[in-house]
Amino acid sequence: MLPVSSTIETPFDTTLIPGVFDRPGDDPIFSLNAEASRRAAEGESILNATLGALMNEEGRLAVMPSVSRAFSGVPPESAAAYSPISGPTAFLEAVTRDTFGDSPLAEISVATATAGATGALAHAIATYLDLGQALLTTDYFWSPYRIIASHAGRRVELFEMFDGAGGFNLGAFEKALEGLIARQGRALVLFNFPCHNPTGYSLDEAEWEGVAEIVARCATQAPVAFLVDLAYAHFGAPGSENWVRHVERMAESAQVLVAWTASKAYAQYGARVGALIAPHRDPEERQRIANALGYACRGTWSNCNHLGMLAMTELLVNEELRAAAEGERDQLRRLLDERVRLFNAEASRAGLRYPRYEGGFFVTVFTDESQRAAARMRELGVFVVPIRGALRVAMCSTPVAQIPRLVSALVEGIRAGQA
């Protein structure tokens, strides 16, 4: 056995390769969460609006009983066996149907199983960008996009998400996409709508139309892949599901990709069940895509959680279970919608600046001094995540009764930050 302390000296401080030896440790959101939990355990009244999981009004993780039933119904021997590398065919068909419904895209899609939407993003980045190339996304974005890209030797480029009137900045998107294509000859665009994390923004019809027009046109000049990260989409306002119609238009020239996940839509974060879905009208290209994605699976995790995929398949294809799941999700959505309504009422009365917010797990409140504002809020026992130019507020983990406290803390934090 190796002695714990040794007198043998080596000339090396680290065996890690130079590119990784100074990686940051804990994700800052998890560190904030740890501090919030510690202070709550010590008896303080803490409002923790940092984590992206839907909590019920009692502060416990909201789960969907139909999903648990589907999991417990999977025969142990099936769950214990390896899944096919790209995922069971029935699973891939079920998630494709869940995503595209009766859109013609459902008939021309290939898909591969992934470890949540994170896995789908990783596969898309490694498959549609060469080493050193950059993906394009909004300047407010889920920060692991950068980690996933950098870990794969790719980069992130950003465009300004909002225009002067607080709407989606189509002009900035168009300019950035054209510039990227001119520099690298191809593009991968990541869009997390409806219910964007961290801003809570959902594109309206005119904005989607504008995006579709730009993508469809640019894709005639160079290979363009457009990925919709559906993480929170099921919690959007009525009509937000229309994104499918707009990507149908893009799919005429661009490669549409969809990151599907059971994490938020089925409140099953830990099961790591996801898929990358890729519609294409040419069967030969579909085969190439399926091969490339299957290879990516083999080269990363081999195959995904079989139990989770079998359970989600049953949930999606069994009429009774599926209806139960939709009913349960409606309840969760109503819970969240009530918070969204009250937040909008209180925050607009208090004069907070934030984007249009109609549903979804998060909203961001703008302030230039976000670090100082968040620090002041922590003194008041209210935890939010400071990001560049804003505070990210997790409405998914804020009970209705705490919203007035949240809004007053935001007002006080922003005031103190600017003082």
Binding-site member from 88, 194, 274, 294 for ligand PLP (CB under 6 A)? 274
CB of 196 to ligand PLP, least distance (A): 7
- Burial of residue 347, with CB atoms counted within 10 A of its CB: 0-12 exposed, 13-18 middle, 19 or more buried: buried
Binding-site member from 116, 200, 279, 413 for ligand PLP (CB under 6 A)? 116
CA–CA distance, 92 with 40 (Å, rounded to integer): 42
- 87 makes contact with ligand PLP (CB under 6 A): no
Using alpha carbons, list the distances in angstroms from residue 351 to 90, 164, 253, 346, 412. 50, 18, 44, 9, 12
CA–CA distance, 281 with 38 (Å, rounded to integer): 53
Nearest to 198 by CA among 339, 78, 39, 366: 366
Per CB under 6 A, the segment of 115-123, 282-290, 292-300, 352-360 that binds ligand PLP is 115-123
- What binding mask, one character per residue, do residues 35-54 give for ligand PLP by CB under 6 A, x or -? -----------------x--
Using alpha carbons, list the distances in angstroms from residue 113 to 93, 190, 344, 363. 11, 19, 38, 30
Q: Which residue is nearest to ligand PLP (CB)?
A: 116
CB nearer to ligand PLP: give 24 or 75.
24
Length of the chain: 419
Amino acid at 321: L
- 137 makes contact with ligand PLP (CB under 6 A): no
- 383 makes contact with ligand PLP (CB under 6 A): no
- 128 makes contact with ligand PLP (CB under 6 A): no
- 127 makes contact with ligand PLP (CB under 6 A): no
- 202 makes contact with ligand PLP (CB under 6 A): no
Per CB under 6 A, the segment of 63-71, 116-124, 127-135, 340-348 that binds ligand PLP is 116-124
Asked if 382 and 49 touch (Cβ cutoff 8 Å), the reply is yes
Q: How many residues bind ligand PLP (CB under 6 A)?
A: 13
CB of 263 to ligand PLP, least distance (A): 3
Nearest to 419 by CA among 360, 365, 357, 376: 376
- 305 makes contact with ligand PLP (CB under 6 A): no
CB of 391 to ligand PLP, least distance (A): 16
Q: List 366's β-bridge partners, or say none.
A: 390
What are the strands, taking DSSP E only, across 282-374? Answer: 362-366
- 229 makes contact with ligand PLP (CB under 6 A): yes
Asked if 410 and 365 touch (Cβ cutoff 8 Å), the reply is yes
DSSP conformation class of 159: E
Binding site for ligand PLP (CB under 6 A): 52, 116-118, 142, 192, 197, 229, 231, 261, 263, 269, 274
